[in-house]
Amino acid sequence: MNAALGTAGVALGLAASLLGVVTLAVGLRSRRPKLLRVGRSYAWLVLGGAVLATVAMERALITRDFSLQYVADNGSTATPALYNVATLWAALEGSIILWALILAGFTVGVVVKFRTRLTDPLVGWASLVMLVVCAFFFMLLVGPANPFTTVAGAIPTDGPGPNPLLQNHPLMAIHPPMLYLGYVGFTVPFAFAVAALVTGRLGEGWLAATRRWTLLAWGFLTIGIGLGSWWSYEVLGWGGFWAWDPVENASFLPWLTGTAYLHSVMVQERRGMLRVWNLSLLLSTFSLTILGTFLTRSGVLDSVHSFTESPIGMWLLVAFAATVVVTVGLIGWRGDRLRSPGSIDSPVSREGAFLLNNLLFAAFAFVVLLGTVFPLVVEAVNDERISVGTPYFNRMTAPIGLALLFLMAVAPALPWRKASGELLWDRLRWPTWAGVATLVGAVAIGARGISPLVAFALGGFAAAAAVRQLALAVGAARRQGASPLRAFVGRSNGGMIVHLGVVVVAVAFTAASSYTTSATYTLAEGDSATVAGHTVTYEGMNPEDVSPQRTLVSARVRVDGGQVYEPALNQFPNATQTIGTPSVRVGATEDVYLTLVAAPEREGGPVVLGVIIEPLASWLWVGGGIMGFGTLLAAWPTSRRRREDDPVPSAEGGRLPAADVARMEDGEAGRDDVPVPSGVG
Amino acid sequence: MKRTLSILVPLLVVVVALVVGSSGSDGPKTSAERAQAIAGTVRCPECQGQSVASSDAPAAVAIREEIDRRVAAGESEEEVQAALVSSYGEGVLLNPPGSGVAGLVWVLPVAGLVVAAGGLALAFRRWRPSTAGPPSEEDRRLVDAARRRRRAGP
């Protein structure tokens, strides 16, 4: 029943995608608006198919229908409800269903949002591209990643359940969907970029149409990455939050190129430049999501030679290659129309800063990509196995990160076109002092080491620059009568809040990775150990907690004579290794991270306890939250657009129509910002 | 003069703070700290990309114990790493080697950045403005006139 329902859903999705592609293609070719309008119904049908497949799989998981191979492999009667629902994305086939569902949702979102422009070839082509991508993912569900194959032979009565690491923390229920919303969300700007290339309408129209979609996708990706990092901190038990693991890198790569795009697109909106570059960034962001899926899902990372074992690897590799070839071909074909009309007058200008920003982000992405695939290349070429791990990534990316922090402080203060040293110094004076004060403060409380100190100083500098920018813009909006909340809404204010979040993450990352103290102690009952000024006292074991899902042993550890924390070890019935559950005393200045390394071998015996003191770790998630909030503010629809003749205060005290100000002032603020009064004429 | 001073003073403070901040960070390390640092550069053979310092898998624990033993016996970081490479292969080090084909992983990003930065510098040269210079008196008069018309209202 579930298998039939699910297969029907997949078939419906695939058929509707293909028919939709054909209908739109014919409609676009023969210019028949009627056919283009029909395209909308196909998007809804695709969504219907995806929903049907999802419902069938969830139903199978919830009713424990072990006749499905996927449920037999990943489900279990003992899995608690939350993790049972989340088992949909615990393995390859199910996660492709989730991918298809989200993709179909975005496709419907596009046809609904642009319902009045369905006959516009740009929208028609974009919907067509979305449907092609839909068709590809439904093909995966029909072919190499079919989740609805039934068990051959006797139907088992129980299954092993999902990987123990995936049923150990509630974050697993939200991290993958968030990440996928981000990945898949970038399909929308990608589709419009391809549509712009095909139709030759390479002006700024498609950029404006996809601005919010891109922000939304970026915001989801940011939150997804943040939650993944939080999950690994809470679950993996080594106190780390970022391991430069290929799976993490795969999510980080599109984030890097997407971030570069969000910045450089402003140069195109404002000056009409960098068209090829912006298209390339979007196209590579999408390609990188496919490449990332290939890297993490094909088994290629275990060994070059293992990816042929799973047929999906070949499919994803072909899709990646096809995307790259088609998009590079399109850009080459349209090369003549992509010549930018403008030019950049001075490197010391807002657009110069954005270019440098892009150079740094591209270099960052290149390092991460190279480090991730390099072992594969070396193995393929030389049959030699090498590792590229954390020390490499840290050493290569730290300078880039520091340069980006510096740029983040200076760039918002730079005017478009050309800056004078005097103006720049005037705007950066107090942010500079804030950076200096941060540095002196950090040294005073005992922080040591050149690169962490430089990071703190630049963090203070960048944070103050963002606050200054915010204060000016919000102040100006308030004087115009905007409500205190409304004054914060908008792209540049949201952007500055995202910057603040980045600074918080950067400072926390630096502190937690530079000043962590870790130690392992063997303690008898009642014994204490002191590490980095914190005393941990082992007070004994809790009684064993046995449930069908797992057996849990936990120790009672009192921290600094206060509350008791209970790090634990889980034994899952179908896993050989025990899985730890760390217990963390979260603090504003530092976390005390406790792990149970080994339970006592006999009743009342000594226990092996891991203690990690990690400064500022909790600020990583706070910073991630701030970034998400800032993105929301930037994408929030403003109640009304500023009209050309809205009055804004001018420096002369009089009132000037907005349009004149926008044209004349060198302006710190972008087009849809509230203009900052800064010396007109 | 005043402006030069207002830039020099924070610069001086930064230099002094960094000098103070960099001292005392590299004193003589205990052998436990050295062992911990080495363990951070060695890959845990059983885990995906984790170092043996951050894993409690049996293989990681075994390698950690070997590192502790060798450090206690007075071996240097290079000696310990060489010994591990000879028994586990080059892949046991998280830092790829600096020589041979593998050395490319260090060289390529730097080379790429240099080439890209050079390209950008060239582009800026080519973009040198043809119409430079501040607005002329006539430009200002035009703007003022437009402004007055606007203020007068349509």
pLDDT in tens, A497-514: 999 999 999 999 999 988
d(CA A393, CA A3): 45
pLDDT of the residue at A78: 86
Q: Which of A339, A330, A353 is nearest to A282 (CA)?
A: A330
Question: CB distance B150–A657 less than 8 Å?
Answer: yes
Q: What's the structural domain count of chain B?
A: 2
The CATH number of residue B51's host domain is 1.10.8.640
Mean pLDDT, range A447-474, rounded to an integer = 93
Tally DSSP H helices, then E strands, for chain B.
6, 0
Percent pLDDT > 90 in chain A is 55
Higher pLDDT, A174 or A238: A174
Dihedral, CA of residue A425, residue A428, residue A429 and residue A431, to nearest 10:
-170
- pLDDT band of residue A643 (cuts 50, 70, 90) is very low
- How many Å apart are CA A41 and CA A39, to the nearest integer? 5
Same-domain check for residues B39 and B87:
yes
Q: How far is B63 from chain A (nearest CA, A)?
A: 16
Report the C-alpha dihedral over residues A412, A413, A417, A419, rounded to 10 degrees.
-160
Whether the pLDDT of residue A663 is over 70: the answer is no
- B61 interfaces chain A, CB cutoff of 8 Å: no
Does residue A11 have a pLDDT over 60?
A: yes
pLDDT at A661 over 80: no
Q: Please indicate if any CB of chain A lies within 8 Å of the CB of B115.
A: no
Measuring CA to CA, which residue among A611, A602, A610, A612 is closest to residue A525? A602
pLDDT(A620) > 80: yes
Determine, yes or no, domain membership for B47: yes
Q: Do B18 and A239 touch (CB under 8 A)?
A: no
Sign of CA dihedral A251, A254, A257, A258: negative
Distance (Å) from the alpha carbon of B81 to chain A's nearest alpha carbon: 14
Q: Is B41 on the interface with A (CB under 8 A)?
A: yes
A219-246 burial: b if 16+ Cβ within 10 Å, else e: bbbbbbbbbbbbbbbbbbbbbbbbbbbb
d(C-alpha A53, C-alpha A134), whole Å = 14
pLDDT of A2 > 60? The answer is yes
A 10 A CB-CB count for A466 gives 25
pLDDT score for A309? 62
Q: Where are the beta strands (DSSP E) in A298-451?
A: none
Tracing tokens 């990646």 back to the chain, one arrives at A320
Question: What pLDDT shows up at residue A520?
Answer: 86
What count of residues does chain A have?
A: 681
Best mean pLDDT range from A2-16, A594-608, B126-140: A2-16
Residue pLDDT, tens place only, A333-383: 988 777 766 677 777 888 889 999 999 999 999 999 999 999 888 888 888
What pLDDT score does A301 carry?
Answer: 73
Q: Residue A630 pLDDT more than 90?
A: yes
B71 plus B40 within the same structural domain: yes
How distant is the alpha carbon of residue A500 from its chain centre?
17
Contacts of B150 in chain A (CB under 8 A): 656-657, 660
Is B28's pLDDT higher than 80? no
Q: How far apart are CA B77 and CA B60, in angstroms?
A: 18
Contact yes or no for A109/A102 (Cβ under 8 A)? no
Type of residue at A50: A
**What is the token pair recorded at A16?**
């509707």
Position B89 scores a pLDDT of 84
Task: Inform me whether the pLDDT recorded for A516 exceeds 60.
Answer: yes
Give the residue on A whose Cα is nearest the Cα of B97.
Answer: A386
Taking an 8 Å cut-off on Cβ atoms, the answer to whether A386 and B97 are in contact is yes
Does B33 fall in a domain?
Answer: yes
In the block, residue with structure tokens 């918080």: A504
For B117, the closest chain A residue by CA position comes to A359
pLDDT higher than 60, residue A670: no
B105 and B82 in a single domain? The answer is no
Write out chain A residues lying below 8 Å of B108, CB-based: 366, 370
Mean pLDDT, range A564-584, rounded to an integer = 85
Q: d(Cα B93, Cα A516) in Å, to the nearest integer?
A: 22
The verdict on a CB contact (< 8 Å) between B102 and A384 is yes
The DSSP bridge pattern shows strands A545-546 and A528-531 to be unpaired
DSSP one-letter code for A272? S
Q: Which residue of B has its CA nearest to A455?
A: B18
Distance CA A185, CA A111 (A): 14
Give the tens place of pLDDT for each residue, A306-323: 555 678 888 999 999 999
Inter-chain touch A367–B124, beta carbons under 8 Å:
no
Lowest mean pLDDT among A139-143, A330-334, A496-500, B42-46: B42-46
Check whether residue B63 and residue B77 sit in a common domain. yes
B151 in a structural domain: no
Report pLDDT digits (tens) over B51-61. Answer: 888 777 788 88
Q: Are residues B91 and B105 in the same domain?
A: no
- Look at residue B120 and tell me if it is in a domain: yes
**Does residue B107 lie in a domain region?**
yes
- Phi-psi region at A124: left, alpha or beta (left = phi > 0; alpha = psi -120 to 50): alpha
Kindly list the domain boundaries of chain A, sorted by start residue: 1-162, 170-418, 517-618
Chain B partners within 8 Å of A345 (Cβ): 127, 129, 132
Residues B71 and B113 in one domain: no
Band (pLDDT 50/70/90 cuts) for residue A557 is: very high
The CA radius of gyration of chain B, in Å to the nearest whole number, is 30
- Residue A660: which pLDDT band, with cuts at 50, 70 and 90? very low
Q: Is the pLDDT of residue A220 over 60?
A: yes
Confidence check: pLDDT of A296 > 60: yes
Q: Is A68 helix (H, G, I), strand (E, B) or coil?
A: strand
**Residue A305 has what pLDDT?**
58
Which of A240, A389, A580 is closest, CB to CB, to B94? A389
Domain, as residue range, for B111: 98-129
- Average pLDDT (A590-597) is 92
Which region among A43-57, B18-32, B76-90 has the lowest average model confidence (pLDDT)? B18-32
Domain termination site, one of B47, B80, B95: B95
Instruction: Say which residue, A5 or A311, is predicted with more confidence.
Output: A5
Which band of pLDDT confidence, cut at 50, 70 and 90, is reported for residue B132?
low
Q: Which of A218, A173, A187 is nearest to A627 (CA)?
A: A218
More confident residue, A153 or A257: A257
* Among the partner residues B23, B49, B102, nearest to A244 by beta-carbon distance: B49
Residue A167: pLDDT band (50, 70, 90) is confident
- Judged by DSSP in three states, B154 sits in coil
* Average pLDDT, integer, range A272-276: 85
Most confident of A235-249, A362-376, A407-421, B96-110: A362-376
* Identity of the residue in A356, A439, A681 whose CB atom sits nearest the CB atom of B14: A439
Local confidence band at A401 (pLDDT 50, 70, 90 cut-offs): very high
Which is more confident, A638 or A555?
A555
Residue-level pLDDT at A657: 42
In a domain, B40, yes or no: yes
The share of chain B scoring above pLDDT 70, in percent, equals 87
DSSP string, A555-590: EEEEETTS-EE--EEEE-TT-SS-EEE-EEE--SSE
pLDDT beyond 80 at B128: no
Are A411 and A496 contacting, i.e. CB atoms less than 8 angstroms apart? Answer: no
Task: Give domain status of residue B85, yes or no.
Answer: yes
For residue A111, pLDDT beyond 90: yes
> What single letter denotes the amino acid at residue A106?
F
Task: Using a CB–CB cutoff of 8 Å, tell me whether B113 touches chain A.
Answer: yes
| Residue numbers in A near B50 (CB within 8 A) | 238, 243, 245
What stretches of A528-680 adopt beta strand conformation (E)? Answer: 528-531, 534-541, 545-546, 551-559, 564-565, 568-571, 579-581, 583-585, 590-598, 607-615, 647-649, 655-657
Answer for the pair A142, A11: CB distance below 8 angstroms, yes or no. Answer: yes
Q: Among candidates A17, A40, A36, which has minimal Cα distance to A26?
A: A36
**pLDDT in the model for residue A95:** 92
- Band of the pLDDT at B49, cuts 50, 70, 90? low
Q: What average pLDDT does the segment A102-129 reach?
A: 94
B150 located within any domain: no
AA identity, residue A674 = V
- pLDDT at residue B24, as a whole number: 62
Interface test with B, best of A242, A390, A593 (most B CBs within 10 A): A390
Contacts of A382 in chain B (CB under 8 A): 101
Output the pLDDT for position B76: 86
The continuous run of DSSP H or E covering A521 comes out as strand A517-523
**Element holding A520 (H helix, E strand):** strand A517-523
B108 contacts: CB under 8 Å, gap ≥ 6: A366, A370
According to DSSP, the residues that pair with A657 across neighbouring strands are A647
- Average pLDDT across chain A, whole number: 87
Long-range CB contacts (within 8 A, 24+) of A583-587 = A583/A557, A584/A233, A584/A234, A585/A559, A586/A618, A587/A618
What is the band of A195 on the pLDDT scale with cuts at 50, 70, 90?
very high
A671 close to A269: Cβ distance less than 8 angstroms = yes
Lowest mean pLDDT among A200-204, A298-302, A505-509: A298-302
Tokens of A1: 């029943």
Query: What residues pair up with A615 in beta bridges, in sequence order?
Result: A590
